[in-house]
């Protein structure tokens, strides 16, 4: 009996925690709701769900002009750009299945909706080994394969409120 009470308490705590989540994943259904309400997708505040580290090996003569953090590793200069979890971004442009999200200046990261999936995930190009490639600031950076599960999310606020049409039936009596 005591174990059942503890289990019920844990379940209630988990449900409360999930219901208080301030952010939700951005899905195709949510996008359709926004478009149906004639809202501008470019005015939605997006956030990245995971930290993504972009890196590329740089020739020594380019090391001074790189904009990211420069790391010297195994005799090479590495240009790193870190987009931390929860970094805010805006939608610069979009297509039917892609959103081009900017986290700084005019550099965008592409998020897309796969046919079998409802979520918008980061678009990565298969590269060598366990790394993927991504174009950022007109350059190709390597990204670890773990970034493949990175999604977009938004704050749970006015955009997500569901419209519920409700009426109470008065009933019908015999005359």
172 inside domain: no
pLDDT digits (tens, 9 = 90+) for 33-49: 888 988 899 999 999 99
7 inside domain: no
77 inside domain: yes
pLDDT at residue 18, rounded to an integer = 43
Residue 17 has pLDDT above 60, yes or no: no
What band does 93 get if pLDDT is binned at 50, 70 and 90?
very high
168 inside domain: no
Which residues contact residue 16 at a Cβ distance below 8 angstroms, ignoring those fewer than 6 apart?
Answer: none
108 inside domain: yes
Structural domain tally of the chain?
1
Task: Give burial (CB, 10 Å; 0-12/13-18/19+) of 36.
Answer: exposed
3 inside domain: no
To the question of pTM greater than 0.95 for the whole model, the response is no
pLDDT digits (tens, 9 = 90+) for 65-78: 445 566 666 667 88
84 inside domain: yes
pLDDT at residue 84, rounded to an integer = 94
Q: What is the DSSP letter of 119?
A: B
What band does 146 get if pLDDT is binned at 50, 70 and 90?
confident
Domain that holds residue 134: 24-159
HSE, CB side, 13 Å, CA atoms: give it for residue 44: 30
Q: Which ranges of the chain would DSSP assign to H, the alpha helix? A: 2-19, 28-36
14 inside domain: no
């Amino acid at each position: 009996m005591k174990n059942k009470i503890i289990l019920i308490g844990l379940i209630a705590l988990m449900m409360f925690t999930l219901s208080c989540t301030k952010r939700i994943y951005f899905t195709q259904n949510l996008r359709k709701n926004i478009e149906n309400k004639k809202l501008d997708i470019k005015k939605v505040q997006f956030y990245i769900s995971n930290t993504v580290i972009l890196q590329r090996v740089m020739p020594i003569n380019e090391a001074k002009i790189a904009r990211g953090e420069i790391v010297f590793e195994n005799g090479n200069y590495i240009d790193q750009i870190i987009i931390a979890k929860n970094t805010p971004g805006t939608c610069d442009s979009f297509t039917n299945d892609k959103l081009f999200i900017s986290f700084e200046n005019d550099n965008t990261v592409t998020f897309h909706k796969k046919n079998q999936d409802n979520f918008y995930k980061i678009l990565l190009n298969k590269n060598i080994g366990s790394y993927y490639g991504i174009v950022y600031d007109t350059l190709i950076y390597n990204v670890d394969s773990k970034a493949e599960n990175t999604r977009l999310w938004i704050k749970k606020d006015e955009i997500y409120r569901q419209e519920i049409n409700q009426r109470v039936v008065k009933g019908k009596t015999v005359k």
